Structure 1
Amino acid sequence: MSAILVTGADLAPQALDLLQDFDVVYAGKTPTEADLVALARQHDPVAIIVRYGKVGPAVMDAAPSLRVISKHGSGTDTIDKVAAKARGIEVVAAVGANAAAVAEQALALLLACAKSVVPLDARMHAGHWDKATHKSLELGGRTVGLLGLGAIGQRFAKMADAMGMRVIGFDPYAKDLPAYIASVDLETIWRESDAVSLHCPLTDENRGLLNADTLAKCKPGVIVVNTARGGLVDEAALLAAVRSGHVRGAGLDSFAVEPMAAGHPFQGQERIVLSPHIGGVTSDAYVNMGVGAARNVMEVLARRTVTAAENVGVT
Structure 2
Amino acid sequence: MSAEKPVFLVTGADLASDALALLRDYQVVFAGKTPTEDEIVALCKQHDPVAIIVRYSKVGAAAMDAAPSLKVISKHGSGTDTIDKVAATARGIKVVAAVGANAAAVAEQALALLLACAKSVVTLDQRMHAGHWDKATHKSVELEGRTVGVVGLGAIGQRFARMADAMGMRVLGFDPYATELPAYIQSADLETIWRESDAISLHCPLTADNAKLVNAKTLAACKKGVIIVNTARGGLIDEAALLEAVQSEQVASAGLDSFAVEPMTAPHPFHGEKRITLSPHIGGVTADAYVKMGVAAARNALAVLNG
**Residues 141-163 of structure 1, C-alpha deviations (whole Å, 9 max, x = no match):** 00000100000000000000000
Of 178, 181, 200, the residue aligned with 1:177 is 181
**Residues 289-313 of structure 1, C-alpha deviations (whole Å, 9 max, x = no match):** 000000001100011xxxxxxxxxx
**Residues 185-219 of structure 1, C-alpha deviations (whole Å, 9 max, x = no match):** 01000000000000000000000000000000000
- Structure 1 segments unaligned to the other structure (5+ residues): 304-315
Percent identical pairs in the alignment equals 79
Aligned partner of 2:218 in structure 1 is 214
Q: Distance in 2 between matches of 1:57 and 1:145?
A: 37
Of 136, 149, 152, the residue aligned with 1:148 is 152
- Partner secondary structure for residue 249 of structure 1: strand
Q: How many residues align?
A: 303
Matched, 1:168 2:172: yes
Of 87, 92, 105, the residue aligned with 2:91 is 87
The aligned amino acid for 2:255 is: G
Matched, 1:99 2:113: no
**Residues 215-250 of structure 1, C-alpha deviations (whole Å, 9 max, x = no match):** 000000000000000000000000000000010000
Matched, 1:59 2:51: no
Of 282, 292, 300, the residue aligned with 1:278 is 282
Of 48, 64, 72, the residue aligned with 2:52 is 48
- Partner secondary structure for residue 70 of structure 1: strand
Of 227, 232, 235, the residue aligned with 2:236 is 232
Matched, 1:69 2:38: no
Cα offset for 1:173?
Answer: 0.2
TM-score (norm 2): 0.98
Equivalent residues in 2 for 1:18-33 (5 A)?
Answer: 18-33=22-37
Of 1, 8, 14, the residue aligned with 2:18 is 14
Matched, 1:296 2:306: no
Aligned partner of 1:256 in structure 2 is 260
**Residues 20-48 of structure 1, C-alpha deviations (whole Å, 9 max, x = no match):** 00000000011111111111011100000
Q: Runs of 4 or more off by more than 3 Å in structure 1? A: none
Equivalent residues in 2 for 1:100-139 (5 A)?
Answer: 100-139=104-143
- Partner secondary structure for residue 89 of structure 2: helix
RMSD: 0.3
Q: Distance in 1 between matches of 2:34 and 2:157?
A: 29
The aligned amino acid for 2:74 is: S
Cα offset for 1:82?
Answer: 0.2
Aligned partner of 1:308 in structure 2 is none
TM-score (norm 1): 0.96
Cα offset for 1:124?
Answer: 0.2
Cα offset for 1:3?
Answer: 0.2
The aligned amino acid for 1:40 is: C
Cα offset for 1:80?
Answer: 0.2
The aligned amino acid for 1:41 is: K
- Partner secondary structure for residue 141 of structure 1: coil
Q: Distance in 2 between matches of 1:185 and 1:126?
A: 44
Matched, 1:34 2:32: no
Aligned partner of 1:307 in structure 2 is none
